[in-house]
Amino acid sequence: MSLTFAADGPDALPLHILEEDAVDAWLDTQEARDAAWVRAMGFTGGIGQALVLPGPDGAPARALIGFGTAAKRLRGRFTLAAAASKLPEGAWRIADGLPEDLLEVEALGWLLGGYRFDRYKSAKPAGARLVAPEGVDAARLEAIAAGEALTRDLINTPASDMGPPELETAARKLAERHGASIDVTRGEALLENNLPMIHAVGRAASRPPRLIDMRWGDEGPALTLVGKGVCFDTGGLNLKPGASMGLMKKDMGGAAAVLGLAHMLMATGARMRLRILIPAVENSVSGDAFRPQDVLTSRKGLTVEINNTDAEGRLVLADALALADEEKPDQIISMATLTGAARVAVGPDLAPYFSDDPLFVTALEASAVAVADPVWRMPFHDPYETMIEPDIADLDNAPKGGFAGCITAALFLRRFVTRSRYAHFDIYGWQPSAAPARPKGGVGQGTRALYGALAGILKR
């Protein structure tokens, strides 16, 4: 699968983008035959509508795509992608009708609409390809699309083929592609290197736990991305019911997201010192599984009482975050499919994030709107700190009561970053039903917004 733009040439057919209230005026400027054809086919300019206009020989000569209204476009994203699949195979170029400020995001949406996960079943390729609109950076958009495709592929792959070893292989391939260095600590070596909670969570699995550590770039500000790589989560001894276990191949969605974002940054030559840390584990059940009421000692020295083995993601992230913080980078960002509470709060389409840095928030929010990658700020609410402090240890991995689960998880993670600016994303990583440019399945969330914002965030 190649999410790339088509080459321009004489075979590329023109596309006219029409809003609903512009259709009649446009038809008044066309030949009577074409106007009659459009009216007879019922084209109104609605979102998702596409109509091919034949030439004198009956072959496609051009096409119309409905662009709805500004109000209706607010209810969705990637309006061109909603109609692109209805066009016949071939190259198409935008002739008119698309506002200049939407060229880039709509062109990217068209690219993303070409994604197919075909590892196990052949999928029909997208037929209509877009010529890069004049004025957009085609190479940059293709790099973003490739990063998103990597994230989707990793999440969509089942745990039988995407366990800790395979996640490591994917990271190694990415490192080799971009000339990055990579170091991996596995199994008992995690204890020897003071990564005890990553070891504790993953030790019950047949495939050893590991910490993947990738570095790229030798100048500019330092950015460390930390991604939760729980390749499958049974819940451990607090075993999940079957219905809750059904999508747990996506519990490494944070790792998939940071690898996709890393590709975007490296492929476009971002000036920074980039580090990617991924604790890759499976939360399994065996005689060696960690238990409720165990007390674990973290890399940072903080003790953690285990009150639910199904709250394991924050444990592996904690050791990785403590390691990241020791270098005092300019910015640490963690991404994880961490809590069901985040889904209850904002649903599957929004990426909740936590940051107390006004510059980070301003840059991210502006970028999210510009690139149609919605995020929603949640609070590091200090009064809830007492909720994560049990009687016999420094921290509780699963506070009782059921309140503010997304916030208490973020507060837990923040305890392990004390020297660096920190932001945390509690993503879902899954598209429950198909939408324009987003087929059902794994999806990146927050990564394109971050990519667009990082230059401003790190330049201080």
Residues carrying an active site annotation? 240, 314
Query: Strand pairing of 351-354 and 430-431?
Result: unpaired
Q: How far is residue 12's CA from residue 61's CA, in Å, rounded to a whole number?
A: 10
List of long-range contacts for 358-365, beta carbons under 8 Å, 24+ apart: 359/456, 359/457, 359/460, 360/331, 360/421, 360/423, 360/453, 360/457, 363/453, 363/456, 363/457, 364/423, 364/449, 364/450, 364/453, 364/457
Residues 6 or more apart from 128 whose CB is under 8 A from it? Answer: 84, 85, 87, 88, 89, 90, 92
Q: How far is residue 311's CA from residue 295's CA, in Å, rounded to a whole number?
A: 14
Integer CA distances (angstroms), 286 to 234, 236, 405, in order: 11, 8, 27
Q: How far is residue 306's CA from residue 291's CA, in Å, rounded to a whole number?
A: 7
In 3D space, the residue among 319, 314, 328 whose CA is nearest the CA of residue 407 turns out to be: 314
Q: How far is residue 296's CA from residue 302's CA, in Å, rounded to a whole number?
A: 8
String of b and e for 131-164 (b: at least 16 CB within 10 Å)? Answer: bbbeebeeeebbbbbbbbbbbbbbbbbebeebbb
Q: How far is residue 226's CA from residue 424's CA, in Å, rounded to a whole number?
A: 9
Is the dihedral angle over the CA atoms 287, 289, 292, 296 positive or is it negative?
positive
